[in-house]
Amino acid sequence: MAKEPGFNTLKLLIDGRWCDGGSGGSEPVYNPADGTVLGQLAHADASDLDRALAASQKGFDHWRHVSAVERQAVIDRTVALIKDRRDVIARILTLEMGKPLAESLVEVDFATDTLKWYGEEGRRVYGRILPPRAPGLRSHVLKEPVGPVIGFVAWNFPAVNVIRKVAGAVASGCSIVLKPSEETPGTAIAIAQCFLDAGLPDGVLNLVFGVPDMISRHLMASPVPRKVTVTGSTAVGKHLTRLAADTLKRCTMELGGHAPVVIAADADIDLAVSQLIGAKRRNAGQVCTSPTRFIVEQDAYADVCDAFSAAFEKTKVSDGLQEGAQMGPLIARRRCEWMDQLTEDALSKGARVLCGGERMGNQGSFYKPTVIADAGPDMMAMNDEPFGPMVLIMPVPDLDAALTEANRLDIGLAAYGYTTSQRSALDLQNGLNAGVVGINNAGVSLPEAPFGGVDETGQGSEGGSEGIETFLRTKFVNELAV
């Protein structure tokens, strides 16, 4: 146990110091590729959470007055340190989350790109001067940091999810108490150490781990934090939104998705398959924007089924540290059980399994890339997000029917459309009910672009100018010269 660098000291970070929890409790962190224990993670108790909240208030009281130029300098030093430690952080990420090392390296690079962009955007926070209504008046609008922040992040992107929360807070002058996932703590700890080594003042960034429900209820009940930012499931987001209501905390919620892919009869099938294979393999499908519900015009249906299943079946599934791995394990065996349940339900309702549909081996939590044809809206997997390497393909007579099915669910994070017709592309762009849309393109996330969903996929956006705006509050000042 704890033979790998990064797992020897899995502790809490409170007021600039690494510490064990007050109760002495802990839990094991597992490698999903083989089930081995990587280390023991300290648990916070109520007294630890109170100390973290107090540290966050103290950190905010100082950091809010630090200039945007100085904040950017700290962020730039952090970016440089993460780049220097890129290989180590990526290895930690693969060990605790399972994705191929090549993917982990890309994630760390995207995280540094995102952090650097937020540091720059922090210098582009502008107020405005209003025309005075009388001589001697000076009327202006200011932007100020909203206050201490709470962040909750999921396990599927241990580097990017952490950076999206911390970068927006730090760049805008806020402090943050962050609860990363207990399944992937090592990456968050390694990144936090980079912030500390870059000179981030004590209390501006605090990390806590433990029993999620206890931590969320305790932190959310406190009047100290004025904002909560969450990446997680829709159920978790609704729960935290209800808790936030008691103290009227501002909420940013990036929640579950179930991304539709509309493929028109005139689509370039080779282009679509080449892009969507990579997007679907990524993170073993454990991505909120993962293309999952393939809604295909009848004339292209057979070609899409054949091409995608043939390509997906060739995926090299293995331990993420193995050379040439294209897809790693799921985060835990519970995810395999969920995939089995969805597959069995689809088969019972008339679907066909073109490839996969079962686990791989007896070690770890590997699942075969799965393609299910003849999918229908009554199937569980067409309504509840698989969050795994599963694609469901459903035939429809035309694009109107495709859009109806694509928009049937009350969630809308990502959606994709493939067509060679400019008119159809415009119809898809305007008709797909989602926060981010890719047309003949499976890339929908950039640091400089807003990332967020509609309806039950959440509230607000991360990234873009919208991503930093949510950490700011607006103040109007009307001053009379005397």
pLDDT at 385: 97
Lookup: tokens for 110: 């995207």
pLDDT at 23: 86
CATH 2.60.120.200 for the 259-446 domain, yes or no: no
Rounded Cα distance, 460 and 439, in Å: 22
Question: Tens digits of per-residue pLDDT, 215-240?
Answer: 999 999 999 999 999 999 999 999 99
Rounded Cα distance, 143 and 56, in Å: 20
Whole-model pTM? 0.95
> 154 near 180, Cβ under 8 Å?
no
CATH number of 12-255+457-478: 3.40.605.10
Find tokens 């089924």 and name the residue.
Answer: 305
pLDDT at 9: 85
Residues designated catalytic: 254, 288
> 151 near 327, Cβ under 8 Å?
no
The angle at the Cα of 431, spanning 425 to 436, to the nearest 5 degrees, equals 80
pLDDT at 2: 44
**With a cut of 70, which residues of the chain have pLDDT below it?**
1-3
> 328 near 317, Cβ under 8 Å?
yes
pLDDT at 1: 43
pLDDT at 3: 58
Q: Which residues belong to CATH 3.40.605.10 in the chain?
A: 12-255+457-478
pLDDT at 474: 98
Q: Which residues belong to CATH 3.40.309.10 in the chain?
A: 259-446
Tell the burial category of 263 from Cβ atoms under 10 Å away from its Cβ (0-12, 13-18, 19+).
buried
